[in-house]
Amino acid sequence: MNEHQQTLLEFMQQQADKLAVQTMQHIGLTFISLFFAVLVGLPLGIIIARKRKLSGTVLGFAGILQTIPSIALLGFMIPLLGIGPKPAIVALLLYALLPIIRNTYTGITGIDAAVKEAAMAMGMSKWQILIKVELPLAMPVILAGIRTATVINVGVATLASFIAAGGLGEFIFGGISLNNTNMILAGAIPAALLAIIFDFLLSLVQKLNFRKLKRSSYALPVVLLLLSSFYFIPTAYGSKLTAGFTPEFMGRQDGNLGLESKYGLKIHTIVISDAVMYKAAYEKELDVISGYSTDGRLKAYGLVVLNDDKGIFPPYYAAPIVRDDALKKFPELEKTLNLLSGKINDSVMTDLNYRTDYLHQSPERVAKDFLVNHKLFKPARKSNEENIVRIGSKIFGEQYILANMYSMLIKGYTNYDVSTKTGLGGTKICFDALTNDQIDFYPEYTGTGLLAILQASAKTINEVTKNKDSTYNYVQREFKKQYQISWLKPIGFNNAYALMMREQQAKSLNIKTISNLKRYLNSK
């Protein structure tokens, strides 16, 4: 964390620009979708009030839409409409549909039959009855439906940030992944306030009597359109390239904040979830994305990493970390684990990840193939059951591969037996398992050790992240001192944050480093 605990208010002041943009986007998303939902829902409600046989089908269908989890509905939209506001608006529209259709239907069918009969008997046409009798009398119920839809939309619109549509979800989900409470609240409080304010304003409209309602019913579409247009205010300015960053990346010092402060990089940025980011870059919806330098998707989608020439991303070199008493218990362990050191560089690791993530080869097979190719593989020896080495790994592909390699090496080069405890939820769980003697070692990254485990001060981070060796030396020293845990020799690759672009585009624009990128963006 920073030198002193930042208050929520300070955070909001510091991020006022972003907060304003996100709030406007949020209001915009809510009301664009609401506007279209009214445009679709109101006539549908009127039709099923006229032809009641259809009502079951239509209401049933709208009800089913309502039960689809919002995040899944957004997911369905991506193949159809890509990322950005379009799929978000369609998804929100579908959510808002049910209350509007249902209340229009209930409102119209609930009108006193004598009033409708009187209207007909006096010689009003169907259209006149609709405009002069049915809609005005059903209006309070219809407005209640619109009110419900608005509140639903304000809530669901927070999820729009997952597919790069903006809104207050950027702060909320960025905050969750960064474990930054201020950031979560900076998104959640305005979102809640929006819901409360719009609910209150609509409750006032609902209470207007018929006469005033007549006049305000003309104003309502205008207000809706006005609020909808909020969405476009922030996007009015753009830049040559579009960047897509994960919410976590947006809020990190070794992420977008660092890009802005150290490189002065100003790029039109949208916030997007990690799951769709790579694909969006491949499909040319995004030009620059944040990612991990050894991610298999780099290879799958033809992306290249831009060189971090000013060193804002701390090094994340991987190395096994072992409890000291385990090293004593298994004298041959260190030598064996170090067999792998320096053998896997970034591109090799990317390729290995590509095989498991995209070619869906088993980590075991990938590990064995690698060891065989590098003439490191030996068949398993007869084991001595008393001495079991316990290997841990985190819950992603790369770690599974490494755990498998270590397991094969130990079995081939020593008499120890091996048990693996793979898929431990996260850094904290892995590390706690290690210190509590549940496992003997697991592969860790220097950056994670520095930031997540040691939680070094900003000053220290600045000092030791200048090059990979100083980071390694620092964590090695501190781990030994604080936890009696040893960092063995680095494996060779650096799984750090990185900016990446499509290889072709980067080549044609002659962009190799982040400084190149900035120069290109600044040029006219």
Applying CB under 8 A, the residues found at the interface with other proteins are: 112, 114-115, 117-125, 128, 133, 136-137, 210-211
> Is-contact 421 388, C-beta < 8 A?
no
CB 207, min distance to other proteins, A: 15
Helix (H, G, I), strand (E, B) or coil at 10: helix
SS3 assignment for 189-257: HHHHHHHHHHHHHHHHHHHCCHHHHHHHHHHHHHHHHHHHHCCHHHHCCCCCCEEEECHHHHHCHHHHH
In this structure, what is the dihedral angle of CA atoms 405, 406, 408, 412, given to the nearest 10 degrees? 130
CB 10, min distance to other proteins, A: 52
CA distance linking residue 14 with residue 8, whole number of Å? 10
CB 39, min distance to other proteins, A: 24
CB 115, min distance to other proteins, A: 5
For the sheet with 318-323, list strands across it.
416-424, 384-394, 441-445, 318-323, 485-487
DSSP state at residue 509: H
CA distance linking residue 147 with residue 201, whole number of Å? 9
> Whose Cβ is closer to other proteins: residue 110's or residue 302's?
110
> Whose Cβ is closer to other proteins: residue 113's or residue 222's?
113
CB 131, min distance to other proteins, A: 12
Whole-Å CA distances, 207 to 143, 194, 210, 222, 280 = 10, 20, 9, 20, 46
Task: Choose among 493, 476, 481: nearest CA to 340.
Answer: 493
CB 53, min distance to other proteins, A: 15
> Whose Cβ is closer to other proteins: residue 114's or residue 236's?
114
CB 127, min distance to other proteins, A: 10
> Is-contact 311 513, C-beta < 8 A?
no
DSSP state at residue 306: P
One-letter identity of residue 251? G
In this structure, what is the dihedral angle of CA atoms 477, 482, 483, 486, given to the nearest 10 degrees? 10
CA distance linking residue 474 with residue 460, whole number of Å? 9
> Whose Cβ is closer to other proteins: residue 212's or residue 466's?
212
Max distance between CA atoms of the chain, in angstroms, equals: 102
> Whose Cβ is closer to other proteins: residue 128's or residue 473's?
128
> Whose Cβ is closer to other proteins: residue 210's or residue 520's?
210
CA distance linking residue 165 with residue 173, whole number of Å? 13
CB 117, min distance to other proteins, A: 6
CB 210, min distance to other proteins, A: 4
> Whose Cβ is closer to other proteins: residue 127's or residue 237's?
127
CA distance linking residue 287 with residue 248, whole number of Å? 19
Helix (H, G, I), strand (E, B) or coil at 47: helix
Q: How many CB atoms lie within 10 A of CB 345?
A: 13
CB 145, min distance to other proteins, A: 19
Kindly state the helix (H) or strand (E) to which residue 364 belongs, with its residue range: helix 363-373
> Whose Cβ is closer to other proteins: residue 118's or residue 372's?
118
> Whose Cβ is closer to other proteins: residue 138's or residue 312's?
138
